[in-house]
Amino acid sequence: MAYTTVDDPTQHFNTVLYTGDIVDGDGTGHDQAITGMGFQPDWLWHKGRSHARQHIWVDSVRGTGGSPTQMLGISSQDANAEVSANTNGFIESIDSDGFTVTSGNDSSSKSNNAGANGRTYVDWCWKAETAFSNDASATSIGTIDSSGSANQTAGISICSYTGNQTSGATIKHGLSTAPKTIFIKKRSAGDHWTVLTQTISLNTHLHLSQNNGAISDPMFTNTAPTTSVFTVDSDGQVNGNNDTFIAYCFSPIKGYSKFGKYTGNGNVDGPFIYTGFRPAWVMTKRTDSAGDWAMMDNKRPNEFNVVQNYLKGQAGDAEQTDDSFNIDMCATGFKCRYNNGNYNADGGAYVYWAFAEVPTVNSNGAPANAR
């Protein structure tokens, strides 16, 4: 059985649902505080549920900017550069127990992105608590300077760097264990999201902003990340000269997070994927063909199986409830409950990312209490 060092996953990852209460129309700008997180969320993945709206990533490493001052945002569903401010409303700040959304100052369409009155939203939030900075020439760790924030207990780091367009460049990621998956996005100009997942191949990558299958291209020079650095090619997607980048790095933590692969069987009695914990959040992606980045959690719309409310990571569509996209979140993993090709085609190859609601076994070796 799976032992863990994370007895309470909600201290490191949490899903927050809320309904906007900002009324449009006066152009003055308003705020709405979202509290009860239990920690400062250093990375938020934000999405409107009830309406079509883009996915937005904000984090404490990139921080704030623009006028009015708001969190710097990047959309995961397109290749656009970082956004410094949005008059339609955005996430204004990351706070000690949550975050604050603002309406912006556009009286015609305020708060569409984050707090429109009566609209529903979801935020998936991670904690990356300890800042780091690395001068590569002084430490001899990596060949490119980097800085960021890392949570060693939960195996997540957020890393900022400036590219030099040199193949084989190495960047300190801030973790003490080697990350198994990395999401990289150019900040300073438009370009694809590049996703490394070692569950398929070091010589391939995925595009988070697209639904295509795995792409054979050595963006990471066919080199596995180490306990201190990851390696990138000279390609502009991950290492353009003088371009700024942000990387989100994940190492699996037993009983808390797992990143793996499975093969579909094309049956309503689909495969069971063992994680060693009851999942709070699951994202799947087909790699041998086109397929959605399917995102599910244990809070939409309720806390019981079958889970069938999902969002597409590569699209701004409103939340969908579809009987053909069912999973059960079980005490030790998740089970596919339909033959939808996006997550369970016969012989289809898939990768997944999962974070825990509760581990199967706690740090003392005793069974944990799953809901």
Indicate whether 138 pLDDT > 70: yes
pLDDT bin (cut points 50, 70, 90) of residue 107 is: very low
Q: Which structure tokens are listed for 349?
A: 């190859």
The torsion region of residue 168 among left (phi > 0), alpha (psi -120 to 50) and beta comes to left
Q: Which of 250, 274, 289 is the last residue of a domain?
A: 250
Running DSSP on this structure, what letter comes out for residue 24? P
Grade residue 171 by pLDDT with cuts at 50, 70 and 90. Answer: very high
What is the residue range of 278's domain?
Answer: 257-359
Q: Is residue 3 over pLDDT 70?
A: no
DSSP state of 10: G
Residue 246 pLDDT more than 90?
A: yes
User: Residue 111: pLDDT above 80?
Assistant: no
Question: Which pLDDT score is estimated for 27?
Answer: 47
Q: How many domains does the chain have?
A: 3
Whether 161 is in a domain gets the answer yes
pLDDT, tens digit, 9 for 90 and up, residues 143-160: 999 999 999 999 999 999
Cis bond leading into 306, ω under 30°?
yes
**Domain's final residue, options 105, 126, 147:** 126
CB within 8 A of 219, min separation 6: which ones? Answer: 194, 196, 205, 232, 233, 235, 237, 238
Mark which of 203, 222, 250 sits at the end of a domain. Answer: 250
Both tokens of 276, joined, read 């060693």
Q: Is residue 164 located within the same domain as residue 233?
A: yes
pLDDT band at 346 (very low <50, low <70, confident <90, very high): very high
**Distance of alpha carbon 203 from the chain centroid:** 22
Residue 368, domain member (yes or no): no
Residues 73 and 94 occupy one common structural domain: yes
Question: Model confidence over 36-56: pLDDT tens digits?
Answer: 999 999 999 999 999 888 899
Asked if residue 235 and residue 158 are part of one domain, the reply reads yes
Q: What is the predicted pLDDT for the residue at 102?
A: 83
- Shared domain for 15 and 63, answered yes or no, is yes
* Each residue's pLDDT tens digit, 54-73: 899 999 999 988 766 788 88
User: Within this chain, do residues 121 and 96 fall inside the same structural domain, yes or no?
Assistant: yes
Q: Residue 370: in which H helix or E strand, if any?
A: none
